[in-house]
């Protein structure tokens, strides 16, 4: 095929997608006015299994006839008639890779889907029969509910507080965080280098670049070395997405800012470390964080936040406290409250937030509710800003894809599954507490080493097998059950 033919074909395809998008956009606009279109944002703290969760949620809805969704009222009452996937009305958002992820989970050597590294989304149309239609025959028998799912890295959400924080204030916050374990140990010599760097001295580009490389490595260690910390900023240093100006990522926190007053810092020379890093920090916020909030995040009506409570409990008190700080930080970034639907078309607010503890198939079913209650304790402080606006966040516990079974061995109940190399694995775990452990109560969880499990074997892509799960139906009911009436 000639280059001209290829270009022409691409133009035709683009025009076709645009026409389809305009059609879908028209349907979406009508649905919004009828309160039949809303957007759910799904994000998660580090290693919470978000890609797997979204894949399973779509899978359950697309195959609702055979899925285990007794906790989702439209399925239980047989009012969910069908589910169809449409192109996104916003063609600038990449499509969530559902088919690729589903194939990964159902191939002969099943593997977990790749982690989220950028924004994506999908649009589902749920065809429903109206509740109580026999009592009111004048109402339409059927209606469509459009559910837009927006997926984005949790690290990007953690950047939203930077919109209200000056560079000097952020540097001071970092200085306090880095003095505490485990960040202090993870920083190594970098902590001293940043402490000794005079913010008012003339910037040396090579020195700054070297420090920036070390700082990015430190953030990677926070996320991937040993156990994962939750509160990691700036998030795009790890998951940049599309960044046209790489210079925006070339700054570091200046830990020596606290020795100077705000007036002295503001009068620093333009070629000082302070002014140089401040400019890049402000550009980072203006060109990366602000557009994410205005064009993507602010359109969300309801929010699901996934949290790996079990593995954080296994990591120790410092990691659990860090998770609590991260949840508090992101919760304060939400705009809560119910309002007139016409106003929401232009300035939407999140009217419901669900926090979900993931991977509960790592513990016995008798401990599932304890995980949910523990999550409730962890995020209790984060709730306050939501409750102030009349929104009551909800806690749940789930396993997007159940990868374990329960057995009884020598009088003890335990967990079995398939290890990462295909080997069978079995273990017994300590009883999960409903409250945050204190003192010596932590020891059993620090001694417990949770093995990595592969997805369940034997699922068939060709036969479109439904993914096994735990309580995704309950989460669906909390998120959209009231919209399906």
Contact yes or no for 282/19 (Cβ under 8 A): no
Cα–Cα dist 228/219, whole Å: 10
Q: Where are the domains of the chain?
A: 34-152+296-484, 160-291
pLDDT at 406: 95
Cβ-based neighbours of 204, under 8 Å, separated by 6 or more: none
Cα–Cα dist 261/151, whole Å: 41
Average pLDDT over residues 358-378: 96
**C-alpha pair distances (Å), 439 with each of 19, 82, 213, 314:** 62, 52, 37, 14
Cβ-based neighbours of 66, under 8 Å, separated by 6 or more: 466
Would you tell me how many other CB atoms lie within 10 Å of the CB of residue 375?
Answer: 22
> What does R_g of the chain's alpha carbons equal in angstroms?
24
Which segment of 135-149, 183-197, 455-469 scores lowest on mean pLDDT?
Answer: 135-149
Q: How far is CA 284 from the centre of its chain?
A: 21
Cβ-based neighbours of 33, under 8 Å, separated by 6 or more: 341, 345
Mean of pLDDT over the chain? 88
pLDDT at 456: 94
Average pLDDT over residues 435-445: 95
Cis peptide before 360 (omega within 30 of 0): no
> Rounded to two decimals, what is the model's pTM?
0.88
Contact yes or no for 464/401 (Cβ under 8 A): no
pLDDT at 410: 82
Q: Burial code of 395-407, b = ≥16 C-beta within 10 A, e = fewer?
A: bbbbbbbbbbeee
Report pLDDT digits (tens) over 398-407: 999 999 999 9
- Rounded to 10 deg, the angle between the 189-196 and 167-178 helix axes is 140
Burial of 5 (0-12, 13-18, 19+ CB in 10 A): exposed
Report pLDDT digits (tens) over 197-253: 999 999 999 999 999 999 999 999 999 886 789 999 999 999 998 888 999 999 999
Average pLDDT over residues 153-177: 93
pLDDT at 31: 64
pLDDT at 348: 58
Report pLDDT digits (tens) over 26-41: 666 666 656 789 899 9
**Structure letter (DSSP) for residue 365:** G
pLDDT at 389: 62
pLDDT at 13: 47
Cα–Cα dist 111/101, whole Å: 9
385: helix, coil or strand?
A: helix
How crowded is the C-beta side of 241, counted as CA atoms within 13 Å?
21
pLDDT at 339: 55
The closest alpha carbon to 207, from 193, 218, 221, belongs to 193
Cα–Cα dist 208/278, whole Å: 13
Burial of 462 (0-12, 13-18, 19+ CB in 10 A): exposed
> Which parts of 2-156 are beta strand (E)?
37-44, 80-86, 120-129, 142-151
Listed ranges 145-159, 360-374, 379-393; the one with the highest mean pLDDT: 360-374
Rounded to 5°, angle at Cα 292 from 252 and 480: 130
Average pLDDT over residues 310-319: 93
């Amino acid at each position: 095929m000639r280059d001209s033919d290829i270009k022409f074909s691409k133009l035709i395809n683009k025009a076709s997608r645009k026409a389809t998008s305009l059609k879908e956009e028209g349907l979406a606009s009508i649905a919004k006015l009828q309160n039949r279109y809303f957007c759910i944002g799904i994000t998660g703290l580090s290693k919470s299994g978000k890609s797997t969760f979204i894949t399973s949620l779509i899978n359950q809805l697309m195959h609702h006839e055979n899925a285990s969704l007794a906790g989702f009222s439209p399925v239980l009452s047989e009012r969910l008639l069908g589910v169809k996937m449409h192109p996104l009305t916003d063609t600038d958002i990449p499509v969530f890779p559902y088919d690729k992820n589903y194939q990964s989970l159902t191939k002969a050597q099943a593997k977990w889907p790749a982690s989220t590294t950028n924004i994506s989304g999908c649009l589902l149309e749920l065809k429903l029969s109206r509740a109580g239609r026999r009592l009111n025959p004048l109402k339409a028998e059927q209606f469509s509910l459009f559910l837009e799912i927006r997926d984005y890295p949790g690290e990007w959400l953690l950047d939203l507080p930077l919109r209200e924080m000056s560079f000097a204030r952020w540097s001071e916050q970092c200085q306090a965080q880095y003095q505490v374990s485990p960040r202090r140990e993870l920083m190594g010599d970098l902590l001293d280098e940043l402490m000794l760097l005079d913010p008012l001295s003339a910037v040396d580009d090579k020195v700054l670049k070297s420090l920036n490389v070390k700082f990015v490595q430190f953030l990677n260690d926070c996320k991937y070395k040993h156990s994962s910390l939750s509160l990691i900023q700036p998030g795009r240093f790890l998951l940049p997405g599309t960044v046209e100006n790489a210079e925006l990522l070339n700054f570091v926190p200046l830990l020596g800012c606290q020795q100077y007053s705000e007036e002295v810092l503001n009068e620093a020379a333009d070629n000082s470390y302070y002014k140089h890093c401040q400019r890049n920090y402000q550009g980072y916020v203006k060109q990366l964080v602000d557009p994410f909030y205005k064009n993507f995040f602010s359109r969300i009506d309801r929010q699901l936040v996934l949290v790996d409570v079990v593995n954080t409990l296994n990591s120790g008190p410092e990691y659990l406290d860090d998770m609590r700080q991260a949840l508090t930080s992101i919760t304060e970034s939400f705009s809560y409250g119910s309002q007139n639907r016409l106003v929401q078309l232009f300035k939407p607010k999140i009217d419901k937030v669900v926090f979900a503890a993931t991977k509960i198939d790592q513990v016995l079913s008798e401990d599932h509710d304890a995980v949910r209650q523990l999550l409730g304790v962890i995020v209790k402080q984060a709730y306050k800003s939501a409750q102030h606006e009349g929104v009551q966040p909800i806690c749940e516990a789930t396993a997007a894809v159940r990868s374990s079974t329960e057995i009884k061995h020598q009088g003890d109940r335990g967990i079995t599954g398939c290890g990462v190399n295909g080997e069978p694995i079995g273990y017994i775990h300590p009883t999960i507490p409903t409250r945050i452990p204190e003192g010596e109560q932590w020891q059993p969880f620090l001694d417990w080493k949770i093995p990595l499990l592969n997805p369940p074997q034997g699922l068939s892509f060709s036969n479109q097998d439904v993914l096994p799960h735990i309580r995704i139906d309950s989460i669906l009911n909390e998120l959209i059950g009231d919209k399906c009436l």
